[in-house]
A and B are shown apart, each in its own frame.
Chain A
Amino acid sequence: MPEIYFDSASTTPLDDEVYQTYIDLLQRYFYNADSLYDKGVKVHRLLKKAREEIAKLLKVDPSELIFTSGASEANSLAIKGLCFKKKKGHIISSVMEHASVYNALKQMERVLGIEVTYLQPDLDGMITKEMVKEALREDTFLVSLMSVNNEVGTIYDLEGIKEVLKGRHVLLHVDMTQAIGKIDVDLKGVDMASFSAHKIHGLKGSGLLYRKRHLELEPLISGGQQEYGIRGGTENAITNILLAKTLRKALEKQKERYEHVAALKEYALIKLGKIKGVTVNATKNDIAYILNFSTTLKSEVLLNALNSEGIMVSSRSTCGSRENEPSRVLVALGIDDTRAIRLSFDYFNTQNELDYFMMVLEGILRKYGN
């Protein structure tokens, strides 16, 4: 049976070169980056160098980068770290956000009494700059929005939102997890941004928060001098060092991979159009990496049936896959969330795989669909 992976928006396999370097580093440099003997100092230097390399790739200053355990932690640190400083006020976000943003905001409402406006998408699936402008209040101190949606793939109008916030004392946090390595990201005009390594062929447990110089955050993990005192705990040095290579390779291959994936999506859309009972859940401006569609079958049933044919897909954000709650995102778009399937592509996927997938899908729908 073939093994076909259409779930790269959940996570990706490790890059070969990153893997080799990982093994090499694990053997040579287990030392504490804050130890004062030669070996510790060496690890410290490699970590410093990695931070500089990443800063160069993102066109920011090394001191603006905080290594985290992933994008979820980065989102938490950005939102809660700021809320703990501000203690009161108003935040603008949307119902389209990832759980790590949405639930952090819910928590801040509950615990600190911070007020949050959750914007609803328009008919095109977009969160527009006009909506943000309208929601702004005197006491708004933060706008937190994602740049690419993880369930349907909408690319939001970040530049427009930057424009609205220009000249105002409102900070902008952007969850760029699904954007980095796929589309160009520009941190100009962004005050905080979250990134993850495992979505771009890096290690799990590896992420990054960019936060503009002089922007103060309360630490969530109290500890020593690590990460400018904002995130305590012995540095996960090797993992953090590897993020430099992970990011460099993802950015180097971005264009080439996007072209490949865009061709796949185009092909998939044509094929899906010919299968009875399939509705594509497209928004106005979707990334090529994600394709969401609904069928006449319950998501869970279709997922199981595909799984038994060696095809791996998700029905929604994987971080919510074990919940019984409906998907906020799909509901907001007016999509029946119980029948949706998300395909997410990657550079290693092929047209042959899609052909096989379409054949299997058609078979399943013919047999069980109604």
Chain B
Amino acid sequence: MEIKYEYIVCRYGELVLKGKNRRDFINALLKNTKQTLKEFKALTYEARHDGLYIHLNGEDYGKIKTLLAKVFGFVHFSGAIACEKEIDKIAQVALYLAQNTKAETFKVLARRQDKRFKMTSDEINRAIAGVILKNTMLKVDVHKPQLKLYITIANDLAYLMEEKSPGAGGFPVGINGRALCFLSGGIDSPISAYLTMKKGLRVEFIHFASMPYTSKQALDKVKELAKILAVYEGEAILHIVPFTDLQLAIYEHTDESYAITIMRRMMYRIGDELAKRRHIKLITNGESVGQVASQTIESLDVIAKVADTLVLRPLAMMDKSEIMTLSRNIGTYEVSILPYDDCCTIFEPKNPTTKPKLDKCLYYESKFDYESLINDCLDKIETIKITNEIEDEDIF
């Protein structure tokens, strides 16, 4: 039988935080959790020092669980049943939980926050274990129990939990400011955005589109990725840069082997300027050392020189296989591998240089008025809001 929970107890991550930081952490986490779970209208919340207590008020824990696992800032959470702080009542709930699991062995782990409770933790453990032993077939196993029965004697009630679901970890989104994240449509950039958000940054996406060389589907794919990622921050902003004219100018005025390097420098310039205009202090992207020609140390060096804004590369030292595993886990992989060309693949030169020189970059860039083309790009940026809400819901 499925266990009917009344509460969810969510434990905070990054417990090293103290004082005001800790308060900010909890407040941001509460706000983000409410935003993520806003469709469940009956929920009520109480942020306590040991965790966020969510009262289900009849809402379906199963549905909430998947969403809650996407809120950054919790290490783990559990469905809980509460009762009055009387040992008989606690035993009753404990027995209910024990009877409704498939486990054969168990262990009781009691903890008192309310030290006025007349039994010690150890006494509670023994009393409850005794009741379970007497009324079920379960056996005690203190080393590797299949069922861990957690009992928290809080100040108001006793809370009983039997499973821990892993939380998303990290910091609550927004607590560390905002970042501008390059989003191409490939496998890497969504993961860099994910890791950026996990560090508590609210992400705005920037995408370079080369219509009509790239299709509407390619842009839809980027929106789809932004939508999957938006779940982690409630609502995301996507800046779409019309990049075609600038890209054509690059190919006209530079040697083919330098085209990608110059193109990346232009992207960084546009990103840098957009970040300044929106008071964003950090740019992140999916660059990973050595992955392609434009991601050698020499390339990364000459490319990043054009930006004043701090640039961090969450994937810099990760293996492709690690990135792909993460991608599969968060659900962007299936979308990322859809076969639509993006602006990087469409003008792919045959022999891109892996060791670009700065003076050569400057030489090619001196041959055309890229600044006005960049301004043109910036003026024509289309900014849209991406939410995780379902469109056309009434159709289904």
Contact = CB atoms under 8 A, between A and B. Distances in A.
Contacts of A245: 395-396
A38 B216 contact: yes
A25 interface: yes
Contacts of B396: 49-50, 53, 241, 244-245, 248
A36 B216 contact: yes
B392 A46 contact: yes
Interface SS, B side: helix
Contact of B215 (A36, A50, A53): A36
Complex A-B, nearest 5 residue pairs according to Cβ-Cβ distance, in ascending order = A244-B396, A53-B396, A245-B396, A41-B216, A21-B395
Contacts of B395: 21, 25, 46, 50, 241, 244-245
Interface in B205-228: 215-217, 220
Interface in A1-60: 21, 25, 36-38, 41, 45-46, 49-50, 53
B293 to A, nearest CB: 31
Interface string B363-396: 0000000000000000000000000000010111
- Interface centre among B215, B217, B394, B395, by most A CB within 10 Å? B395
A45 B224 CA distance: 11
A21 B393 CA distance: 11
Contacts of A38: 216
Interface of A: 21, 25, 36-38, 41, 45-46, 49-50, 53, 241, 244-245, 248
Nearest to B392: A46
A255 B166 CA distance: 35
26 contacts: A21-B394, A21-B395, A25-B395, A36-B215, A36-B216, A36-B217, A37-B216, A38-B216, A41-B216, A41-B217, A41-B220, A45-B220, A46-B392, A46-B395, A49-B392, A49-B396, A50-B395, A50-B396, A53-B396, A241-B395, A241-B396, A244-B395, A244-B396, A245-B395, A245-B396, A248-B396
Given A21-B395, A25-B395, A245-B396, 10 more contacts: A36-B215, A37-B216, A41-B220, A45-B220, A46-B395, A50-B396, A53-B396, A241-B395, A241-B396, A244-B396
A63 to B, nearest CB: 11
Contacts of A41: 216-217, 220
A282 B382 CA distance: 67
Contacts of B392: 46, 49
A49 B391 CA distance: 10
Nearest to A244: B396
Contacts of A49: 392, 396
A36 B211 CA distance: 14
Nearest to B394: A21
A241 B392 CA distance: 12
Interface residues of B, number: 8
B338 to A, nearest CB: 11
A245 B396 CA distance: 5
Contacts of A50: 395-396
A21 B396 CA distance: 9
A245 B393 CA distance: 10
Nearest to A50: B396
B226 to A, nearest CB: 15
B393 to A, nearest CB: 10
B164 to A, nearest CB: 26
A60 to B, nearest CB: 16
A244 B394 CA distance: 11
Contacts of A241: 395-396
Contacts of A53: 396
Contacts of B216: 36-38, 41
A46 B216 CA distance: 16
Contacts of A21: 394-395
Nearest to B390: A49
Interface string B237-256: 00000000000000000000
A21 B217 CA distance: 26
A353 B3 CA distance: 43
Contacts of B220: 41, 45
A49 B215 CA distance: 20
A250 to B, nearest CB: 13
Contacts of B394: 21
A73 to B, nearest CB: 23
A46 B392 CA distance: 8
Interface in B241-298: none
Contacts of A36: 215-217
Nearest to B224: A45
A342 to B, nearest CB: 33
A25 B395 CA distance: 8
A142 B395 CA distance: 37
A251 B215 CA distance: 38
A46 B394 CA distance: 12
A37 B395 CA distance: 21
Nearest to A243: B396
A93 B15 CA distance: 63
Contacts of B215: 36
A50 B390 CA distance: 12
Contacts of B217: 36, 41
B381 to A, nearest CB: 20
B281 to A, nearest CB: 36
A50 B391 CA distance: 12
A142 B335 CA distance: 35
Nearest to A242: B395
B39 to A, nearest CB: 16
A241 B396 CA distance: 8
Q: Which of B215, B217, B392, B396 counts the most A-chain CB atoms under 10 A from its CB?
A: B396
A54 B216 CA distance: 26
Contacts of A45: 220
Nearest to A238: B395
B20 to A, nearest CB: 44
Nearest to A248: B396
A279 B392 CA distance: 51
Nearest to B215: A36
A244 B220 CA distance: 23
Nearest to A37: B216
Contacts of A46: 392, 395
A41 B394 CA distance: 19
A37 B212 CA distance: 12
A46 to B, nearest CB: 6
Nearest to A49: B396
A41 B396 CA distance: 18
A147 B81 CA distance: 40
B119 to A, nearest CB: 45
A326 B396 CA distance: 42
